[in-house]
């Protein structure tokens, strides 16, 4: 695959490629989530202490358990769940060393941190910005395929187009989106 294909590939596609042994696909998944996960750990621990170790442990678990990922759910939620569980395990290990009256003094929240919410909002805003710059037909295809998660066959049926036409147009829409993103990064 070319770099542009990895950049515009959705998480489910990258996960499938990684399962098939494509290490570059897993690197792109790691690159998409590592900073947000690290910030999660730093924020919850009140400093960077063991954040890098927890980040590494999280992505080792992601890699080892990739075959358990269910594409019916978003990859990001799955990774965050593993990260939260890794953090809970870390807190439990630390608390085993504390006297009984000091254990569980710090509640662990599963709600998104303010930083996670801002990151999610920024990513959505960026994607919407680039989607708005696509022609209407391409925008519709991208939304149907990657946001509404319709299969190619479902899109073809809903739009009354041949399957080959849908695949070609989605490919062109992804290429156009990739070019827009690349141009946007140069500014």
pLDDT tens-digit readout, 102-152: 555 555 555 666 666 666 666 677 778 888 888 999 889 888 887 778 888
DSSP symbols for 3-15: HHHHHH--HHHHH
Give me the helices (H) in the chain, please: 3-8, 11-19, 23-45, 51-64, 75-95, 114-132, 136-142, 152-159, 163-186
Structural domain harbouring 181: 133-187
pLDDT at 72: 80
- Model's pTM, two decimal places? 0.52
Buried-exposed string 110-144: b where 16+ CB fall within 10 A, e elsewhere: eeeeeebeebeeeeeeeeeebbeebeeebbbbbeb
Mean pLDDT over the full length of the chain? 82
Greater confidence, 2 or 82?
82
Give the number of domains in the chain.
2
pLDDT tens-digit readout, 42-73: 888 777 678 888 989 999 999 999 999 888 88
Confidence of residue 186 (pLDDT cuts 50, 70, 90): very low
Pick from 2-6, 75-79, 132-136: least confident: 2-6
Please state, for a pLDDT cut of 90, what percent of the chain lies above it. 16
Residue where a domain stops, chosen among 74, 109, 144: 109
Which among 85, 87, 78 has a CA at the least distance from the CA of 32?
78
pLDDT at 106: 54
Find the CATH number of the domain harbouring 42. 1.10.1740.10
Pick from 16-20, 46-50, 96-100, 171-175: least confident: 96-100
In a domain, 124, yes or no: no
Examine the domain organization and report whether 103 and 147 are in the same domain.
no
Examine the domain organization and report whether 105 and 138 are in the same domain.
no
> CA quadruple 167, 169, 170, 176: dihedral positive or negative?
positive
Find the CATH number of the domain harbouring 140. 1.10.10.10
């Amino acid at each position: 695959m070319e770099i542009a294909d990895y950049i515009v590939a959705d998480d489910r596609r990258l996960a499938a490629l990684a399962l098939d042994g494509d290490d570059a696909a897993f690197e792109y998944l790691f690159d998409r989530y590592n900073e947000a996960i690290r910030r999660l750990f730093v924020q919850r621990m009140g400093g960077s202490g063991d954040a890098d170790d927890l980040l590494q442990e999280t992505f080792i678990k992601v890699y080892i358990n990739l075959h358990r990922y269910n594409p019916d759910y978003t990859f990001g939620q799955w990774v965050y769940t593993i990260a939260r569980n890794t953090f809970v395990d870390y807190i439990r290990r630390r608390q085993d060393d504390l006297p009984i009256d000091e254990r569980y003094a710090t509640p662990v929240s599963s709600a998104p941190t303010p930083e996670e919410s801002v990151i999610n909002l920024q990513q959505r805003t960026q994607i919407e910005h680039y989607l708005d710059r696509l022609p209407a037909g391409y925008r519709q295809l991208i939304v149907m395929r990657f946001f509404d998660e319709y299969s190619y066959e479902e899109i073809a049926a809903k739009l009354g187009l041949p399957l080959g036409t849908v695949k070609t147009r989605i490919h062109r829409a992804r290429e156009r989106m990739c070019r827009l993103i690349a141009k946007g990064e140069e500014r």
